[in-house]
Amino acid sequence: MVAPAAVPPDALVDAAARLRETARFRPALARYCRGMADAGPIAWPAQKLFDQYRRYLVGYMLIHNWYAWTSAGGPLPTVAALQKIAGASARQVGEVVAMLSARGFVTVTSDASDRRTKLLAPAPALVGEIGRSVRLFVGAVDEILQRRPAWADALADADRLGIVLQRSAAYVRTNGTLIHPFPRVLQFAGRDCGYPLLCAVVGAHYAETIPGAPRAAPVGARRLAARFGVSAAHAASLLADARRQGWFTTGPRGRLAIPAPDLLDEFERWASWQMAHFQELVDTVPCEPTRGPAVG
């Protein structure tokens, strides 16, 4: 199972604080938000598989199991192995795997040494979509550190990105999640397309307040709904719920959304932890990922 939230190591917290203290932090985070707020490369309804925390976690751990096996000598990446660590019931895991398989995001292959054993292999499209936020966070660090060549470009390789995701998931299994210490970010992530909506609102705020921030994606309920492949009623509900809890200030029909200062602080701390976490991991990824054992 996924380990419960825990206080991260001091080194990660310190690295995150250093990133956040730089003048380039918020402009870089603004570009992250715009990247997450833009419509993804995968069209509805498939994109909805990934924009909700529990379903995302199944894909994340499926990728972990595959690359732990192919690159780190881990156990066979079977459905049973995934059900043990995915943070959802066996039935829920089976349903998500079935949906992913039906849409070509997962391939069921046979172990070369025992063809009765079925292995779950993530397609590059699954790695890319689950790792989309990862690449954008690494790109933000590239910008903050003015790093050339950019590591985010290197993560265009699905295997290299898959190894980063595997090592991230291994960290989470051992040390606990990095999202649970940020309950409002987690609450958004727990609803369909809630996290990209939060990013859109934060990005719109940065566009109005930070010189050099990218132009904001529209944050009206209908425009958000069209971008994320949900109903206008669902997008309006997300905005209205956030308004009721004092997290957003919204105008008529959700045309204006401004994050509360304490929510913005929480989001920035969450983002800085993510940046520090993936910055540490990309430094350990080999230039040429090792292909794993044969499958039939």
pLDDT at residue 291, rounded to an integer: 45
Helix (H, G, I), strand (E, B) or coil at 197: helix
With b for 16 or more beta-carbon neighbours within 10 A and e for fewer, the 170-208 pattern comes to bbbbeebbbbebbebbbbbbebbbbbbbbbbbbbbbbbe
Six-digit token pair at 99? 């949906």
Tell me what pLDDT residue 227 has.
Answer: 85
pLDDT in tens, the chain (296 residues): 565 555 677 889 999 999 999 999 999 999 999 999 886 665 545 555 666 888 899 999 999 999 999 987 899 999 999 999 987 888 989 989 998 998 899 999 887 777 788 899 999 999 999 999 999 999 999 999 998 889 999 999 999 999 999 999 999 998 889 999 999 999 999 998 899 999 999 999 999 999 989 988 888 888 888 888 888 999 999 998 999 999 998 766 556 678 999 999 999 999 999 999 999 999 777 654 444 444 44
DSSP string, 217-281: PP-SHHHHHHHHTS-HHHHHHHHHHHHHTTSEEE-GGG--EEE-HHHHHHHHHHHHHHHHHHHHH
**Coil, strand or helix: which one is 43?**
coil
For residue 259, the cross-strand partners are 248
Q: How far apart are the first and last CA of the chain?
A: 29
